[in-house]
Each structure stands twice: as structure tokens, then as C-alpha cells.
Amino acid sequence: MTCPICRGAGYLRMDANVDSPNFSRLIPCTCKMEERRTRSQSRVRQFSDLSMFRDYTFDTFDSAVRGTRDAFEAASSYAAHPDGWLVLVGQYGCGKTHLAAAIANESLRMKMNPIIAVVPDLLDYLRTTFGPDADASYDERFNAFRDADLLILDDLGTENATPWAREKLFQIINHRYNERAPLVVTTNDLDRADPRIRSRLMDWQVATHCYLDADDFRDRSARRPRTRGR
């Protein structure tokens, strides 16, 4: 269907006086902006494809493991009503990512568009927009993460803390803080986060913290006795 505003051109000419620097300047029509937004969200969803996490559900999480029950209940409650922020803190292999992915999978059932991204990978993804073969602008990718229905940041604090990385990550988190947009964060150590980010994550009026005091599930699996086959 042809856009009734621009009649399919995709752009409109600004209404400005002849002596204005904006005279004859072309600006994107609302249909073009919507097309860009949809395309950007599609690319980001491909980047954060949840198919690798399809088995990470609340049903497959073993909440009987010592030190996980409170986090399991908090994550389940958050998934039912994703409002505010949920911060999951614990050592490697304790189940943080499983619970975060379970929230994402549940939000899909609620017709939301969640994005789950490992923080170092997210930053690398944004950096590629500066390359000669980039298929999207930086703003398109950045805004898709910033404005996601539900954003899940996995492994906060493991990124290479360059000034650029700190600033971009802060901008994403600060925007969601100001908008009170749903956010889930997993981290091994909150003290490794940028002080500005940590301050917002520590705001008890916005964020709920859960600590998982469980052993690495990989170690638990390795210690599990094996039975001989017949």
C-alpha cells in the first residue's frame, strides 16, 4: 500500500523559507522511519536469537539446588509482570543466565519482543557499524537495544571497559532507567560495573536484587556419579 503522506517517495521536502539552510532539505517520511525501525528490530532479534535458549525455561530449572530458590521465585514473579529491573548476581554456572533466558521465553509468550545479549557481544555488535561493510547505522542498532520491550544484559562487568564501551553501555542503561523500561541484568560482581551504572542498578525503587549462592553446575555435573551401561 502506497503511503498517503509521501506517496511512496519515502521522503518529504521541508517547508522552509528560501533563505533558510533547511530550504529544499529532504527528511524521512513517517513510513520510512517505521520501515527503518522494523528493519533494525529485525536485525537485533536475529542477533539475540532465542533459539539457543529455547530449553532454558522455569520448568527445566532445578530450584531445589541450594541457594537458588529465592532467585527462582523472584524471576518467575518478574516474568509474569515484567516491571522495573531485576538484577541477578552470582558466580559462574550458578543459573543466572538460565533464569534470565526463562524470563525472555516467558515474555515471548506474552507477545513481547525481548532482546537478550551478552554485554561484550552487544558492544562488538555496535562497533561493527563503523566498518565499511556495515549493513545498518549505529543509531539503528543502538536504538533497537535501547528501546526494546524487554532488555536482558547477560554478564555485565565482563566487557572490555574502554571509555567508549562504558559510555555506550551507560547511555543504554540510563535511558531505560529514565523511562522505567523493563531490564534484567546478570553479573558476577556489581562492583565491576561503571559507578554510574552501579548507582542506577542499586536504586531499590527500581531494581530488585537476587543473589544465587550455588556451586557451578558444571562442577556439579562433573561430580555426579556415572552409572555403567549394561
Residue 225, C-beta contacts closer than 8 angstroms, at least 6 positions apart: none
The pLDDT assigned to 79 comes to 97
Phi and psi dihedrals of 141, rounded to 5? -70, -45
Helix (H) or strand (E) holding 186: strand 183-187
Q: What is the pLDDT of residue 39?
A: 64
17 alpha carbon, distance to own chain's centre: 44
Given this model, what pLDDT does residue 150 score?
94
Q: What pLDDT is stored for residue 98 in this prediction? A: 96
- Listed residue (160, 159, 128, 158) closest to 141, CA to CA: 128
DSSP state of 227: P
pLDDT for the residue 17: 66
Residue with cell 543466572: 96
Q: Is 230 helix (H, G, I), strand (E, B) or coil?
A: coil
Please give the pLDDT value at position 9. Answer: 80
The reported pLDDT for the residue numbered 216 is: 79
Domain boundaries, the chain: 1-47, 50-223
Q: Which CATH superfamily is 50-223 part of?
A: P-loop containing nucleotide triphosphate hydrolases (3.40.50.300)
Q: What is the pLDDT of residue 211?
A: 95
Q: Which residue from 175, 85, 159 is spatially nearest to 122, judged by alpha carbons?
A: 159
What is the rounded CA–CA span in Å between residue 206 and residue 189?
A: 19
**pTM, rounded to two decimals:** 0.76
Estimate to the nearest angstrom the gap between the alpha carbon of 137 and the chain centroid. 18
Task: Please report how many Cα atoms fall inside a 13 Å half-sphere around the Cα of residue 102, on the Cβ side.
Answer: 24
pLDDT tens per residue across all 230 residues of the chain: 788 878 778 777 767 666 666 666 777 788 877 776 666 566 656 656 678 888 999 999 999 999 999 999 999 999 999 999 999 999 988 999 999 999 999 998 898 889 999 999 889 888 876 655 555 667 777 888 888 899 999 999 999 888 998 999 999 999 999 999 999 999 999 999 999 999 999 999 999 999 999 887 766 554 555 444 33
